[in-house]
Amino acid sequence: MGVSLTASALASDVVTLRVGDQKGGNRSLLEIAGLAKDLPYKIEWSEFPAAAPILEALNAGALDFGYTGDLAFLTVYAAGAPIKAIGGTRSDARTQAILVRQDSPIKTIADLKGKRLAGTRGGWGQFLIDATLEKAGGGINDATFAPLGPVDAKIALLAGSIDGWAVWEPYVSYATLKDNARVVADGEGLTPTITFYVASDQAIATKRAALQDLVQRLNRARLWSLDHVADYAKATAELTKLPEDVLLSAYTAQHTDGIAIDAGVVKEIQQASDRATRYGILAKTLDVEKAVDRSFTAAAGSN
């Protein structure tokens, strides 16, 4: 009796992390890299179709941990969500791009003026469109913004109901390799292209050790993926049913690696945040330092 009671007590002490994921996301990365075994805690995975509902679930207290693009995170944080960025990854900024059809008359970023351009509202898509128009010497009102998610935007581009589409990998590789789309602009010099690991304030307060371990495992898995790009693409293709050549192209171009949230990253995201406020994407100016918790990656350094 005493033994079973002790075992029951121990079992009840095991922390459970409620983690939001997308198909082909962090769960599969950990499993493919061999880092999903022997966890000192339990993970209750929930799969979502996109990052936006992950953020909604974090805000509602239904998740402890998830991930999303830097600006999408700031948009939800600005609205008062009790969340913080505790780690993340960086991809090559050129893998954010504005695409047009192969037969489009649009050849340069100057040609985007007056056109109908689609992207995600409050995230990378809208920001890249505004920043690109500004780079072309104009303003954010020089084109018509169509707030569309990736699936709807892809259909709209192929149908000709929009002139351009601002998106990221693997959508860029799929569109260029399979749909003959062309890249007319990219995010180089315009966007940080950071994906944040995001945790609820409640989880940070009560499940710190488990969150710390998960972030470290994800960073190690990213290092593995950089050394095994072909294996990673093949395994993810089998899981997601996306073409292997598309994923190989995407992963090679992205060169995604783990980051430490240090002073440099905070400064970079602050500059992007301020631009997003100026563009009207964010409703107010934010203090990015208050939106992050550096302690989870302070000792790790940037890979």
Residue 248 maps to a domain: no
- The residue from 146, 161, 186 where one domain ends is 186
Give the pLDDT confidence of 189-229 residue by residue, as tens digits.
999 999 999 999 999 999 999 999 999 999 999 999 999 99
Based on the fold, state whether residues 197 and 85 are members of the same structural domain.
yes
Burial of residue 110 (number of CB atoms within 10 Å: 0-12, 13-18, 19+): middle
pLDDT higher than threshold 90 for residue 282: yes
Same-domain check for residues 221 and 144: no
In the chain, pLDDT over 70 holds for what percent of residues? 94
The total number of structural domains in the chain stands at 2
For residue 251, is it within any domain? no
Q: Are residues 226 and 154 in the same domain?
A: no
Band of the pLDDT at 300, cuts 50, 70, 90?
Answer: low
Q: What is the mean pLDDT of the chain?
A: 93
pLDDT for residue 299: 59
Compute the average pLDDT of residues 110-125.
Answer: 94
Domain co-membership, 77 together with 198? yes
CATH number of the structural domain spanning residue 175: 3.40.190.10
Residue 66 maps to a domain: yes
Three-class DSSP labels, the chain: CHHHHHHHHHHHHCCEEEEEECCCCHHHHHHHCCCCCCCCCEEEEEECCCHHHHHHHHHCCCCCEEEEEHHHHHHHHHCCCCEEEEEEEECCHHHCEEEECCCCCCCCHHHHCCCEEEECCCCHHHHHHHHHHHHCCCCHHHCEEEECCHHHHHHHHHHCCCCEEEECCCHHHHHHHHCCCEEEEECCCCCCCEEEEEEEHHHHHHCHHHHHHHHHHHHHHHHHHHHCHHHHHHHHHHHHCCCHHHHHHHHHHHCCEEECCCHHHHHHHHHHHHHHHHHCCCCCCCCHHHHECHHHCCCCCCC
CA atoms in the 13 A half-sphere facing the CB of 114: 4
Q: Region 279-302: what's the mean pLDDT?
A: 87
Final residue in a domain of this structure, among 170, 186, 202: 186
Burial of 2 (0-12, 13-18, 19+ CB in 10 A): exposed
Residue 128, domain extent? 93-186
Q: What is the pLDDT of residue 12?
A: 56
> What is the pLDDT averaged over residues 25-48?
95
Residue 214 lies in a domain: yes
Over range 109-124, report the average pLDDT: 94
Average pLDDT score over residue span 78-94:
97
Q: Bridge partners of 100?
A: 182
Other Cβ atoms within 10 Å of 283 Cβ, number:
12
Q: What pTM was computed for the model? A: 0.90
Final residue before a domain boundary, out of 160, 186, 212: 186
Question: Shortest CA distance to 22 belongs to which of 41, 45, 44, 56?
Answer: 45
Residue with more model confidence, 19 or 303: 19
Same domain? For 136 and 171 the reply is yes
Whether 136 and 119 share a structural domain: yes
